[in-house]
Structure 1
């Protein structure tokens, strides 16, 4: 049987267009915070699944082997067959894929851990019941303990949480809302497993998990800015730029040159270059012409195949340009800028 979860993974392979390797996708699925993996996710529209499929190498190999055996994948070129492309093409697959929220890194995950643990804790205390924490995360446990210890009348706040959740769940609709609701644990009822949710929704457990991830991500962004529930995201960042790149960016903002930033931070040239590429990828405004001559910028745009983000064909056609500079131009082109 073919499930939506299979379609999501096939779509991720399709989006790579045969330009990246099996290993590249493996690192995206596991959320590796390397420059190469971040760039793969950015250029090939894989950010929604970033870090959401933490496969072991064994399980990943098993998955690809099954896709090949079923006639969906050509592993020698790491491209889909016609049958695989058909399974990756339905709107339901791309809709689920793009809702998953992996681009927000740990923001959505930790917010869920905090809220779900708080709900369990509050309900158990209200009914004077002992419990085993639903989240085995020390940071989340510490955060909830600190909140619960503060002297506060929680009942009115719980009512506000309930109202905000109810409104947002109505907006996102099923099957996403159902997957989120049934994951909560209270004083007397334990949150459903993905297998139990799958039975409710008549899907497989992997798809049920994706419905939950997509639903929770969508719910967070449906909340108004003044929502009390967003207090559970306090101190968390949804920024895509890595902390290391952010450190270099702040140095540049202070007026330091590339060489000064490298000296100050005691990092390799290639590392600072990777940070600059991140800036080009994620910043709304970026002074591209400070890093690449305008004539070369135009050449890259003119020579690039619109269906490809491959660096080598460009590198081989332009004298004196580096892969680093091509990535910078690509980043701004990906963001919709044009220079020709």
Structure 2
């Protein structure tokens, strides 16, 4: 049987366009926060699945072997066959793929842990029932304990939370909304497993898990900015830049030049270059000409194959630019800028 989850993974391979390796995708699926993996996710539009398929090497290898055996994957080129293209092409696959929220996964996951544990704790206390925490997460437990110590009308706020979630889920729609609702644990009912939700939705467990991830990600996105439930996101950030790159960025903002930032951070040149590439990838405004002369920017854009993000062909054509400079230009092109 073909599952929607299979289509998601095949679509990821398709987007890599044969330009990256099996290992590259493995790191994206596991959410490795290295410069190379972050750039792969950015350039090949894989950010939504970043870290959303954590798996061991043997399970990843087994998955690829399965795709190859079913005639969906050419592993030598790491590209899909025509049959694989068909599995990855339905609109439902792309719609789910783009909603998974991998670029916000820590934000989404922590918010869910806090809220789901709060609901279980509050409801259980209201009905004087003992319970085992639905989230085995010490920081979330501490956060909820501190929250409940505050002097609030929690009954009224719970009603508000419920209304806000209902309204948001109306926008999210099924099957995503159903997967979210049935994951909540109350005083008398335990949140369903992915296997149980799968049975309700007539899908496999992995697809049910993806429906939940997509539904929860969309819910947090459509919540009004003044929603009370946003209090559960306190102290969290959706910033995609790594903490180390953010530290370098703060120094650049203070007026330090590249060599000065490197000296203060005591990091290798290549590491600071990776930080600058992150800035080019994620910042709305970036001073590209401080790093690449305009004539070279134009030349790089002209040389780039419109359907490829491969660096080497451009590098081989231009003896006067570095891979670092090409990555910077590509990052701004990927963001929709043009210089020709």
Aligned partner of 1:320 in structure 2 is 320
Q: SS of the counterpart of 1:106?
A: helix
Aligned partner of 2:118 in structure 1 is 118
How far is the alpha carbon of 1:60 from its aligned partner? 0.4
Q: Check conservation: 1:7, 1:93, Cα contact below 8 A.
A: yes
101-110 or 270-279: bigger deviation? 101-110
Aligned partner of 1:10 in structure 2 is 10
How far is the alpha carbon of 1:224 from its aligned partner? 0.2
105-114 or 44-53: bigger deviation? 105-114
Aligned partner of 1:144 in structure 2 is 144
Structure 1 stretches of 5 or more lacking a match?
Answer: none
Aligned partner of 1:336 in structure 2 is 336
Aligned partner of 1:206 in structure 2 is 206
Deviations 1:229-276 (A, max 9, x none): 110000001011111101000000000010110111111111000000
Q: SS of the counterpart of 2:317?
A: coil
Aligned partner of 1:305 in structure 2 is 305
Aligned partner of 1:282 in structure 2 is 282
Q: SS of the counterpart of 1:267?
A: coil
Matches for 1:68-87 after TM superposition, within 5 Å: 68-87=68-87
* TM value normalised by structure 1: 0.99
How far is the alpha carbon of 1:153 from its aligned partner? 1.7
How far is the alpha carbon of 1:280 from its aligned partner? 0.2
Deviations 1:166-219 (A, max 9, x none): 101111111001000000000111000000000000000000000000000000
Aligned alpha-carbon RMSD (Å):
0.6
How many Å separate the matches in 2 of 1:141 and 1:103? 25
How far is the alpha carbon of 1:8 from its aligned partner? 0.3
Q: SS of the counterpart of 2:18?
A: coil
How many Å separate the matches in 1 of 2:266 and 2:137? 34
Q: SS of the counterpart of 1:20?
A: coil
Deviations 1:64-101 (A, max 9, x none): 01000100001111000000001000100000000000
Q: SS of the counterpart of 2:130?
A: coil
How many Å separate the matches in 1 of 2:198 and 2:215? 14
How many Å separate the matches in 2 of 1:150 and 1:218? 29
Q: Check conservation: 1:105, 1:240, Cα contact below 8 A.
A: no
How far is the alpha carbon of 1:105 from its aligned partner? 3.4
Q: How many residues align?
A: 340
How many Å separate the matches in 2 of 1:105 and 1:27? 15
Q: SS of the counterpart of 1:105?
A: helix
How many Å separate the matches in 1 of 2:219 and 2:61? 33
How many Å separate the matches in 1 of 2:213 and 2:105? 12
How many Å separate the matches in 1 of 2:89 and 2:152? 51
Matches for 1:84-123 after TM superposition, within 5 Å: 84-123=84-123
* TM value normalised by structure 2: 0.99
How many Å separate the matches in 2 of 1:4 and 1:302? 38
Aligned partner of 2:234 in structure 1 is 234
How far is the alpha carbon of 1:283 from its aligned partner? 0.3
Matches for 1:45-64 after TM superposition, within 5 Å: 45-64=45-64
